[in-house]
Structure 1
């Protein structure tokens, strides 16, 4: 497999990636095709695909925020079982992120990720691809060391219609196993920056941010 970065919607591989996203994710989680132009051209947003025999069989999008010294995994897609795609993407992404942190003379503090709670959601099939099943994905994150942040999480729909997307947990992977909680201020600043591109946010999201702002820290709990 090859690990290739996509930086333009004109890249033939992006069309294949976009189809894969549509096959796997619910509509409210997929940004419109044309709206991908600016994110792909943004040097801070890293979109890579796993390519086998000319086909996009997996993908991952992530970002590193040098000023916060944290990363976020936007999504990971495993398009086919039995190819070792998950491990391949994990290793390549981690190698890249550690390099980015080192280039800024830092040791990566941790990484955020959202994960559906399969105990609260039943109607998403994720394209019928078993490795994308919410139960499987949740256990994979747990094995990697992610912890669930102890607050009720919602995020604005990527359709930008002001609707709230629920049944999700917001998680954090600390690169120091001794960390048991992280700063609420870090979470608030990160979420405001991350979702700044969406001008329509649900009131429940605003309330969540306001509530987080009253706390000093948030506990990290087992997934």
Structure 2
């Protein structure tokens, strides 16, 4: 049900889109027999380099979902980070890390139906950052073609990202089972104005509250961290209505109730300096980064809020 904090025109837009997606699901089931059968036909592809011709194709799908200018990454930004995958100095100073893009393609019409951009960070046993946690993932963007909502494509993308994370942990730590976690940024409806809520819902064709519920069902919970994302490009604005969510996969024990602060700091350091700042923003002097470091310095661990 659409939340009552949205304007009537936006609420009506979301209801129409929900029906459009339901009709598409019905059509897929009529052709393939089930949503699962359809998803099994999708082809997994991977972008690792900036000269990959599929990067432009991915970016068009990305723009169809992320239409808000201050939340929007540029094509050049994606290309620059892909180049960092092969920069030995950056890998030495901020690695081991790798930031690929996974694509899902419908071979029936050659159309991209979903994509995920994410960064992988490993913490080898011999490194100073090792805490018993082997690797982490920053899931930057998860995109599904808006007419295919409800098919289960986002769920499949998450599974592919998690498999990549576990493989990365194995590659760089050489031990198993692994302790890993994945983080995401998420718009918090309670920190947004009515205008921002309408703008967000119109751009995403999704109620912001429904988005939060979906991610929580996938096991993501909010970190008790005063989080602000720095501007994605010089001259841009920081995004102040985001929360930082985490999903932990600790196979040897119950999911933790908190994460060591120095692990979160190292994870966010790599994310801010590499993926967000791209070494174009002087992150050493960045107010948002310094405030997070100051907070983490006062707390030995960060709680995971599960309510």
- The two structures have a TM-score, normalised by structure 2, of 0.65
Residues 1:178 and 1:95: Cα distance change in structure 2 (over 3 Å): closer
Deviations 1:64-107 (A, max 9, x none): 21115222211111113243211221222222222222233240
Distance in 2, matches of 1:159 and 1:171, equals: 23
| Structure 2 SS opposite 1:166 | coil
- Corresponding position of 2:102: 48
Distance in 2, matches of 1:189 and 1:155, equals: 15
- Corresponding position of 1:220: 304
- Which of 119, 124, 143 aligns to 1:77? It is 143
Deviant stretches of 4+, over 6 Å? none
Quote the offset at 1:9 in angstroms.
4.3
Distance in 1, matches of 2:136 and 2:287, equals: 27
- Which of 124, 141, 156 aligns to 2:230? It is 156
Residue pair 1:6, 1:14 contacting (<8 A) in 2 also: yes
Quote the offset at 1:120 in angstroms.
2.6
- Corresponding position of 2:246: 172
Which runs of 5 or more structure 2 residues have no equivalent in the other structure?
Answer: 1-41, 87-97, 124-133
Select the structure of larger CA radius of gyration.
2
- The two structures have a TM-score, normalised by structure 1, of 0.87
Residue pair 1:188, 1:213 contacting (<8 A) in 2 also: no
Quote the offset at 1:189 in angstroms.
1.8
- Corresponding position of 1:140: 214
Distance in 2, matches of 1:125 and 1:218, equals: 30
Which runs of 5 or more structure 1 residues have no equivalent in the other structure?
Answer: none
Distance in 2, matches of 1:100 and 1:34, equals: 26
RMSD: 2.2
Q: Does residue 1:35 correspond to 2:77, yes or no?
A: yes
Q: 1 or 2, which has the higher strand percentage?
A: 1
Q: 1 or 2, which has the higher helix percentage?
A: 2
